[in-house]
């Protein structure tokens, strides 16, 4: 076990897989000489050279399409978006070209590709740089959507993504890049589609992913002071979702609250609660609840931003209200 940042865990996953397979390459804006806008690709150009670590012009639609073509041609591209916000420029290639080709070709052409980069809000970067795309991509058949929380998962899940024969959306988080967590030694993979119970509990199930896991864990600390023992589930995989783990937890706690940083309308919480209501309705002691971003484009000012995204305090408060009034 070693203590490493999420940033380094992602870098190590890329480097280790690239050492194994010469067909893997990394492409994106500033990934080479600059070593990544968020320094995720540190040292990769020096190790692998500019044939495999490719600095692109600022041309998201173009290089995303190029990567899809390279995947058709037998390579394994890792496409870095400086932030996922910029992937809107390229979303046609991700959805229409990468996600649908296997189906439209009757299984003849698969697209092994990883699209990765920081997703969601950072610190005061305002509406156009803070979009959480998780629910958009989770809506699309033909994509795998992953979003890790800690370093161990970031590394193991990225390895799974790189080795997947399918297009994988890998949603990282800028604020988590600097957080350190323990990472197991050696080569390992976290299987796609498996959630992780981050904290076991019996009174209420909190389901979240990415930075929301941190918020939920912090909230559970506040709740424990009120003698409420919350179970915190890290989804890890947003498509497919591990409903089995969620429903088993609900059968135990009889309460569920989802926590996400995206908007609630047609969001991941809506999807999870719909499934829980259909499959475990009789186990619920109270109506399920969703917590998410306020229904506004994210504002810039610090105080406004803090109000707009779920905090541990807000999650704890809503949990208490929920449990006490139902």
Partner 1 sequence: MEQNIISGNVIDVLGGGRKLAKLLKSNTGIVLNEKTVYSWKQQGVPDKWKPVLVKLLVKNGFEVPKSFLLPGMDIANFQITNSKNIESLYSTKDSNLEEISPLLLKEFYYEMLLLRRFEEKVGQMYGLGLIGGFCHLYIGQEAVSVGMEKAIKKQDAVITGYRCHAHLISRGTDPYVIFSELLGKNDGISSGKGGSMHMFDPKNNFWGGHGIVGAQVPIGIGLAFSLKYKNTNNLSVTYFGDGAANQGQVYESYNMASLWKLPVIFCIENNQYGMGTSIKKASAGNDLSKHGESFDIPGIAVDGMNPVSVYLAAKKAANWVRSGNGPIILEMKTYRYRGHSMSDPAKYRTREEVQRMRDEKDPIESIRNKLLNENIYNEEEVNKIDKTIRQEISDKADKAINADVSNLDNIHTHVLL
Q: Find, among 69, 71, 70, 89, the residue nearest to 29 by Cα.
A: 89
Name residue 185's beta-bridge partners: none
Is 63 an interacting residue with respect to partner 1 (CB under 8 A)?
yes
Is 45 an interacting residue with respect to partner 1 (CB under 8 A)?
yes
Question: C-beta of 103: minimal distance to partner 1 in Å?
Answer: 5
Question: C-beta of 104: minimal distance to partner 1 in Å?
Answer: 4
Is 82 an interacting residue with respect to partner 1 (CB under 8 A)?
no
CA distance 290 to 276: 12
- The answer to whether 308 and 125 are in contact (CB under 8 A) is no
Please say if 60 is a catalytic residue. yes
Residue 172 corresponds to which tokens in the numbers above?
Answer: 């990282």
Q: Which of 17, 29, 35, 60 is catalytic?
A: 60
CA distance 142 to 166: 8
The piece of 100-108, 215-223, 228-236, 270-278 that touches partner 1 (CB under 8 A) is: 100-108
Is 28 an interacting residue with respect to partner 1 (CB under 8 A)?
no
For 55, the enclosing helix (H) or strand (E) is: strand 53-55
CA distance readout (Å), 115 to 152, 172, 242, 245, 290: 19, 10, 21, 26, 28
Question: C-beta of 52: minimal distance to partner 1 in Å?
Answer: 6
Of 14 and 152, CB closest to partner 1: 14
Residue 140 corresponds to which tokens in the numbers above?
Answer: 């699309």
The piece of 38-46, 174-182, 271-279, 297-305 that touches partner 1 (CB under 8 A) is: 38-46
Is 191 an interacting residue with respect to partner 1 (CB under 8 A)?
no
CA distance 172 to 209: 10
Is 41 an interacting residue with respect to partner 1 (CB under 8 A)?
no
Q: Site for partner 1 (CB under 8 A): which residue of 65, 163, 197, 283?
A: 65
Q: Site for partner 1 (CB under 8 A): which residue of 15, 66, 197, 270?
A: 66
Q: Report how many helices (DSSP H) and strands (DSSP E) the chain contains, helices first.
A: 12, 14
Please say if 226 is a catalytic residue. no
The piece of 1-9, 99-107, 214-222, 286-294 that touches partner 1 (CB under 8 A) is: 99-107
What residues are labeled active site? 60, 129
């Amino acid at each position: 076990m070693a203590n490493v940042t999420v940033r380094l865990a992602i870098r190590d996953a890329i480097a280790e897989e690239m050492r194994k397979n010469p067909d893997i390459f990394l492409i994106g804006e500033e990934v080479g000489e600059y070593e990544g806008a968020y320094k995720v690709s540190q040292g990769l150009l020096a190790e692998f050279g500019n044939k495999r670590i490719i600095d692109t012009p600022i041309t998201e639609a173009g290089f995303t399409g190029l990567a899809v073509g390279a995947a058709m041609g037998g390579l394994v591209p890792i496409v870095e978006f400086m932030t996922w916000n910029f992937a809107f420029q390229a979303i046609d290639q991700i959805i229409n070209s990468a996600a649908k080709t296997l189906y439209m070709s009757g299984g003849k052409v698969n697209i092994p590709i990883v699209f990765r980069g920081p997703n969601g809000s950072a610190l005061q970067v305002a509406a156009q740089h803070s979009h959480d795309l998780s629910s958009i991509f989770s809506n699309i058949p033909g994509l795998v959507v992953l979003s890790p929380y800690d370093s161990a998962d970031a590394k193991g899940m990225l390895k799974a993504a790189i080795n997947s024969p399918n297009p994988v959306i890998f949603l990282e988080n800028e604020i988590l890049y600097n957080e350190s967590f323990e990472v197991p030694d050696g080569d390992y993979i976290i299987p796609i589609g498996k959630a992780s119970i981050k904290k076991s509990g019996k009174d209420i199930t909190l389901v979240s992913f990415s930075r929301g896991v941190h918020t939920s864990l912090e909230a559970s600390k506040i709740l424990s002071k009120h003698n409420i023992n919350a179970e915190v589930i890290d989804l890890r995989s947003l498509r497919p979702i591990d409903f089995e783990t969620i429903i088993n937890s609900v059968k135990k706690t009889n309460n569920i609250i989802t926590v996400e940083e995206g908007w609630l309308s047609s969001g991941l919480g809506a999807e999870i609660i719909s499934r829980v209501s259909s499959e475990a309705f009789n186990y619920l002691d109270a109506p399920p609840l969703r917590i998410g971003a306020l229904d506004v484009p994210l504002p810039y000012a610090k105080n406004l931003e803090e109000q707009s995204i779920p905090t541990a305090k807000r999650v704890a408060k809503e949990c208490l209200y929920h449990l006490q009034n139902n």
